[in-house]
Amino acid sequence: MTDTDAPGAVEPASGDADPAADHARRAVAAVWRIESARIVATLTRFVGDVGQAEDLAQEALVEALRQWPAEGVPNKPGAWLTAVAKRRAIDGWRRRERLDERYAALARDLEQQGAEASDTFWDPDTIDDDILRLIFVSCHPVLSREAQIALTLRIVGGLGSEEIARAFLVPTATVQQRIVRAKKTLAAAKVPFEVPEPNEYAARLASVLQVLYLIFNEGYLPAAGDEWVRPDVSAEALRLSRMVAGLMPREPEAQSLVALMEFTASRFAARTARDGTPIPLDEQDRSRWDRAQIGRGQAALARADAIGRGRGAYGLQAAIAECHAVAPSVDDTDWARIVLLYEALGRLAPSPVVDLNRAVAVAMSTGPASALRIVDELVANGRLAGYAPLPAVRGELLRRLGRTSEARSELETAARLTGNEQERASLLAKIAALAPPAPPAD
Amino acid sequence: MKYMLIMRSNDQAVEDYENLDFTEVIAAMGAYNESLIKAGVLLGGEGLSDAKEGFVVDFDSTPPVITDGPYGETKELFNGFWIIQASSPEEAAEWAKRCPLGPGSKLEVRRVNELEDFPQDNEWIQKEAGWRAEAEGRLSAANPAE
């Protein structure tokens, strides 16, 4: 029972002999997706352990699958599931004859309150706090990044192991192992069910946002595998980020991350051709960008700014993404502003990749010569050695400066370094389009 | 998947609604909206003002004729909408069921079309792409993150 999957993890039962049962199963899955975080959060406060809380919630879910098809979905399905799970918890303690004082008190309470117990337990303000605690526990630093991601999707997002496995292109058993191990790690480390203390709050919030952004990028960046599943991964990351932003309305970086994801996701439809070939930004059909989504990104960024604590790394990246999102074309993009934003980002979160991006923006804004100076510095300090985009950008700048033979050699290096076949093809095409090399002097 | 929840009420329900304690109505709707926001599924939504302020453009004749009162012939008023993100029709239905509405009201739940729903080889979609194809010769690494 410890790793029963959410019903959403099961493929729609196309060959199911009983359509009524199938319908009930789908209804249960829908309720689970909406309620599971609240249920697990509430139960965690009740039993004091996330792993056990999740197991109990899953058991209640199995019970729902048994009862709801016949009796219909109850009026307050979340409260129903919570009540069943709590009764299970008490039964379990009794069975194991570990009915110590605390448990006895809890059991008495529950029995006294009877049917209304679930309602009194269902205080929306407390639940919001509980979900926030749950998010911080799922992203706790005692866990590996993989475990944080799996646990967040499972416990906060309500996804099944199979869905998570499909999203991350790993076997289901691996995901199940990660989740089981993560729960054990949390229990062994006696991780408290709480939002971190003020002195570690910022670091932990950054970690939560980073986990969500990693999940988002897993869906966004082109990689091998089933392309249809992956926009769903980004959509789930976006939903969870909106959730975090909703729970933490005073955190500008949480709002900014939502903005960044909205802007980025608005290009989903335009960034791959029908055959899956990636389409670079300057060739994307901007009429296919999702205007409503861009509008939501702007609203989220405005909320972040309204808090008045300045822009963090996500805020700056969101602002850059906004410049692209509102520009009618590559030429009409406010490249000068993007350069400034990259400069600010480079001061806040120094990274050679940020410098390379800034160089590209500089090339668009003031020309290839000044951009080349930035790129040459990056080459000199060697921190991006072996990183294909560096020679690709340098080659392009040299080509624009008419230094054809140097450009050729850089583009060839880039083509050799890139692991992406599409990228290699486009680099080779660019090389072929260069003026032929001068005949060797004899 | 995106779904639009379209709120419709008949004349009687609208009248009943107007006689309810307005602060209670606001509180119930506010709580519902908040639950959508906190679940991260609310993408947008608006309420519509009194139907009397609206009008209809009728395409029965050419040129179309503008008539007043959108609901002269029907009993069901379209009052507002939400757009939500849901992973299945069942999830959209589950959210819709939680809306604090009473007898005489209906929520119509419609999936919002995505670009993938349209024929990608459509002449106008391709033409649009052609208009924008002049981007050639530009720095293709405009955004290495792409």
- Cβ contact (<8 Å) for B135 and A396? no
Looking at residue A2, its pLDDT comes to 45
Mean pLDDT estimate for chain A: 86
In a mutational test of the B interface, the residue from A282, A294, A387, A422 whose CB has the highest number of chain B CBs within 10 Å is A282
Q: How many CB pairs under 8 A join A and B?
A: 116
Q: Is residue A328 part of a domain?
A: no
Looking at residue A14, its pLDDT comes to 43
| Domain range annotation of chain B | 2-112, 118-146
- Cβ contact (<8 Å) for B141 and A242? no
> Which residues of chain A make contact with B142, given a CB cutoff of 8 A?
280-282, 330, 360, 364
Q: Is residue A88 part of a domain?
A: yes
- Cβ contact (<8 Å) for A282 and B133? no
- Cβ contact (<8 Å) for A283 and B135? yes
Q: Is residue A1 part of a domain?
A: yes
Judge contact between A391 and A415, C-beta under 8 A: no
Neighbour tally for B65: CB within 10 Å: 11
Cis peptide before B63 (omega within 30 of 0): yes
Looking at residue B22, its pLDDT comes to 82
**Among candidates B40, B42, B88 on the partner chain, residue whose Cβ is nearest the Cβ of A30:** B88
For the cut 60, the answer to whether the pLDDT of residue B128 exceeds it is: no
Question: Quick check: A166 contacting B, CB < 8 Å?
Answer: no
- H/E element holding B28? helix B22-38
Nearest-angstrom CA–CA distance, A252 and A202: 12
Q: Is the pTM for the entire model greater than 0.80?
A: yes
> Which residues of chain B make contact with A8, given a CB cutoff of 8 A?
87-88
CATH class for domain B2-112? alpha beta
State the total domains in chain A.
1
Pick the residue from chain B with its C-alpha nearest to A391. B141
- Cβ contact (<8 Å) for A27 and B90? yes
Pick the residue from chain B with its C-alpha nearest to A394. B141
In a mutational test of the B interface, the residue from A330, A334, A342, A426 whose CB has the highest number of chain B CBs within 10 Å is A330
**Among candidates A30, A269, A364 on the partner chain, residue whose Cβ is nearest the Cβ of B91:** A30
To the nearest whole Å, the CA of A202 is away from the closest chain B CA by 21
To the nearest whole Å, the CA of A146 is away from the closest chain B CA by 22
Provide the residue range defining the domain that includes A112: 1-117
Judge contact between A153 and A164, C-beta under 8 A: yes
- Cβ contact (<8 Å) for B43 and A296? yes
First to last CA, chain B: 24
B13-49 pLDDT, tens per residue?
878 877 888 888 888 989 999 999 999 999 999 888 8
Neighbour tally for A232: CB within 10 Å: 16
- Cβ contact (<8 Å) for A430 and B135? no
Pick the residue from chain A with its C-alpha nearest to B145. A357
To the nearest whole Å, the CA of B95 is away from the closest chain A CA by 8
Interface residue ranges in chain B relative to chain A, Cβ cutoff 8 Å: 31, 35, 37-44, 83, 85, 87-88, 90-91, 93-95, 114-116, 120, 128-129, 132-133, 135, 138-146
> Which residues of chain B make contact with A34, given a CB cutoff of 8 A?
39, 91, 94-95
User: Residue A331 contacts by C-beta under 8 Å, 6 or more apart in sequence?
Assistant: B138
Judge contact between A36 and A6, C-beta under 8 A: yes
What stretches in chain A show pLDDT beneath 50?
A: 1-4, 6-15, 115-120, 226, 228
Looking at residue A44, its pLDDT comes to 92
Neighbour tally for B102: CB within 10 Å: 10
| DSSP single-letter state for residue B118 | S
Q: Is residue A70 part of a domain?
A: yes
Judge contact between A59 and A1, C-beta under 8 A: yes
Q: Which residue has the tokens 């932990």?
A: A204
B67-121 pLDDT, tens per residue?
776 665 556 677 889 999 999 899 999 999 999 988 888 899 999 987 666 666 6
- Cβ contact (<8 Å) for B143 and A324? yes
